[in-house]
Amino acid sequence: MRCFRSSTRMLLAICTLASSCLAALQPTDIHIKVMERTGDKLFSASPQYPNTFGKVPEITSTTPLSVSFSVKSTTANEAVAVDQAFVNFRHKETGDETAFVAKRAGVGAYRMDLARKHFRTHFAPSPGLYDISLVLGSFADGGVHYALGTVQMSNGKPQQQQQQQRMSDTVVFGARPEIHHRFAEPQRMPSAAVSLVFAVLCVVPLVVLFGVWARLGVNVGGLGAEPVASAAFLGLVGAYMALAVAYWVGVKLFSALTYALVLALPTYAVGQVALSRRAASKPC
C-alpha cells in the first residue's frame, strides 16, 4: 500500500472543482470497520453519500482500520473503475495530510486496510483527531471528494506523556552548556629497571643452553655433511624462536598458532632429511 503525504491538497482541490462541475461519480456500499486482531468488531459504519458517520472511533496499532467502497457513474448508473482512489487523512490540529491508495477489490470496488507498520510510521508519532475522506478521480467522469467522518488515532500513551514527548522533540535554539573535556589519566607503568631485569631473565636460559652445549662438547662440524638441509632446519627452528618472541611482544594467540602450524610441516620434512642423511654418513 503506497502512501502520499502533503501532496494531496492539489488533488483535493481538483477533485472538489471537478465534483462541483461534473458530479458524475458517486461512492456506494461504503463500509468502515475497526476490528481487533482476534476478529472482534469494535466499530462499524456504513454511511450513505453524502452523509458522514457520527461516532468517533479510536484506532490503535492493534485495532486496524478498514475502508471498503464501490464507485458508480451517475450518468450510466453502473459500477465504474476510476483512475485514482485514495483514502485521505487530515490532522485537525496541524493540517498534515496522509493519503493511502485504495486497492481494487472487484469491478468498481476498492478497499484500504491500514496496516500496523503504516500506523506506527504515520500516525503513532502524531496522534489526535483525523478527518477521513475519499478522493476519487476519473478521466471520463471527473472526480469527487467525499468527507466520511473523524477518527481518533491513539498511540497508547497518556496525554501528559504525549505532551512531554512533543516538548522534547521541539528544537530549542540558544547557547548550550560548555563542555569541559578531561583527558584520561595515564596508566601506571613499572619502572625501566623492572623491565630490564625481566628481559635479562628471559635471555638467561638461552645463554645457559649454549654454555651446557659447549661443556658437553657438542660437535657442530658434522653439519657440513648436509649443509643445505641443516641450515634450513636450523633456520626453521630459529623461526619458531622468533615466533615465540613475537607472541610475547604482541602477536595474537590465534595468529601465533596459525603461523606455528604453517611452519610445522616444512620443519618436520627438512629435519627428517637433514638427520637421516647425517645418520647415513656416519661409519658403521
How far apart CA 140 and CA 183 sit, in angstroms, is 73
- Domain range list for the chain: 3-158, 192-281
Least confident of 9-18, 29-38, 91-100: 9-18
How far apart CA 83 and CA 101 sit, in angstroms, is 11
Domain 3-158 in CATH 2.60.40.10? The answer is: yes
* Dihedral sign computed on CA atoms, order 67, 73, 74, 78: negative
Query: Average pLDDT of 255-266?
Result: 90
Coil, helix or strand at residue 66: strand
pLDDT in tens, 109-136: 999 988 888 888 888 888 889 999 999 8
pLDDT at residue number 23: 53
Instruction: Give the residue with greater pLDDT, 173 vs 241.
Output: 241
Least confident of 6-20, 44-58, 198-212, 235-249: 6-20
Under 8 Å between Cβ of 167 and 38: no
Instruction: Give the residue with greater pLDDT, 221 vs 71.
Output: 71
Give the residue among 96, 94, 132, 103 at the shortest CA–CA distance from 7. 96
Beta strands in the chain (DSSP E): 3-5, 25-35, 41-45, 58-59, 65-73, 78-79, 84-91, 97-101, 103-106, 109-113, 128-138, 142-153
